Amino acid sequence: MAESLVFHFTLLVFNFLMPVTPYHFGPSGLVGYVFRKWIDFPVFVLANVIVDIEVLWVNYLHLGWPYHRFAHTLLGGAAVGLLWGLLAYVIQPVLKFGMNIIRINYTPTFKKMLLSGVLGIWMHVLVDAVYHYDVKIFWPFPKNILWRIIYQHQVKLICLICLGAFLVLYMIPTFKQFLKKR
Ligand SMILES: [Zn+2]
């Protein structure tokens, strides 16, 4: 039973999340890194990933269309973001450990974590609303007025550019150190 559950979820991850979710690393990484003084970097970036558990869940339960529901709205997303911020506060040592590995200075505070949970999910919902027709970002207002304000391939391109910019910014300190040593 447990094994088939794992198998089923892995299949769903590959079918539904792998093609789209990684794009969110671009904008969330860049914004989270640039504003890391005020934003909790890992909470913000991971919020952009965990919100898509909703899509997995809807698929797993065979609820059908729309795939984007409660968590993919500003209101519902705020609630999910607060919960995620709360959980992140509890698992703080894990986040600190991760930040230590990728060498990003990290001083978490409860307020920052809650705020970053909400902002992270909002950022995800904003990108998704432009990309996917079924995101009711302004729920209870039913219409997605952001859908296709730019084309899907443009959304993807912007995400990739953001990812590139983030990686360059992230590498600058290492690069400087390397030059100093020479
Ligand atoms: Zn999504």
Q: Where are the domains of the chain?
A: 22-181
- Which pTM value belongs to this model? 0.88
* Residue (of 129, 153, 170) closest to 41 by Cα position: 170
The reported pLDDT for the residue numbered 134 is 93
- pLDDT tens-place string over residues 70-83: 999 999 999 999 99
Q: Which residue has the tokens 């984007």?
A: 68
Residue 112 CA to ligand 1 center (angstroms) comes to: 23
Comparison of pLDDT for 35 and 63, the residue scoring more? 35
* Residues 122/78, Cβ–Cβ less than 8 Å: yes
pLDDT of residue 62: 82
Report the separation in Å between the CA atom of 72 and the middle of ligand 1, taken as the mean of its atom positions: 7
Distance 5 CA to ligand 1 centre (A): 22
How many angstroms is it from 138 CA to the middle of ligand 1? 15
| 163 CA → ligand 1 middle, Å | 17
For 80, the token pair is 């999910």
Ligand 1 geometric centre to CA of 152 (Å): 14
Using one digit for the tens of pLDDT, what is the confidence trace for 123-158? 999 999 999 999 999 999 999 999 988 999 999 999
Cα-based distances in Å from 114 to 36, 120, 123? 14, 10, 14
Q: What is residue 13's predicted lDDT score, i.e. its pLDDT?
A: 67
DSSP assignment letter at 16: I
Q: What is the mean pLDDT of residues 103-117?
A: 96
Q: Ligand 1 centre from 40 Cα, in Å?
A: 20
| Rounded distance from Cα 178 to ligand 1 centre (Å) | 38
Res 178: pLDDT: 87
For ligand 1, the distance from its centroid to the CA atom of residue 15, given in whole angstroms, is 14
CA pair distance 97, 106, nearest whole angstrom: 10
What is the CA(124)–ligand 1 centre distance, in A?
6
Q: Please tell me the distance between residue 81's alpha carbon and the centre of ligand 1 in angstroms.
A: 13
